[in-house]
Amino acid sequence: MASKIESVDDYFKSVPETHRAALEELYQQIKKLYPDATEQISYSRPYFKLDGQPLGGFKAHKRHSALYVWSDTALGRLGDLLKDYDTAESTIRFPPDKPLPKKIVKAVFDERVKEIRGK
């Protein structure tokens, strides 16, 4: 039985090497953009909270990695910026060996922060 994931370090130890570099880069980007966000683990995946609200998180899957933003509308406001990615209402799926570009990560989280802070 796999050990319980209780921290971001535990999570990265559990991630296949094929997925790890892109997710670690994503993690560092989020931390740099929002240093006041708090880290948590939920459903065995890391996520961040800002002002007490879920900001976003990520997870490795068998054939892809995913960024989750806990918003039904934030991604829809980004239009063509996400046209090259497989998206759902609150998820961006990307190849495990290709990190999301910084401009996409920033745009996604900027939209989510507007929702959280009512701006």
pLDDT digits (tens, 9 = 90+) for 51-83: 999 999 999 999 999 999 989 899 999 989 999
Q: Are 25 and 51 in contact (CB under 8 A)?
A: no
pLDDT reading at 11 higher than 90: yes
Domains and CATH numbers, the chain: 17-117 (3.90.1150.200)
pLDDT, residue 1, reads 37
Question: Taking Cα atoms as reference points, which of 36, 56, 37, 47 lies closest to residue 7?
Answer: 47
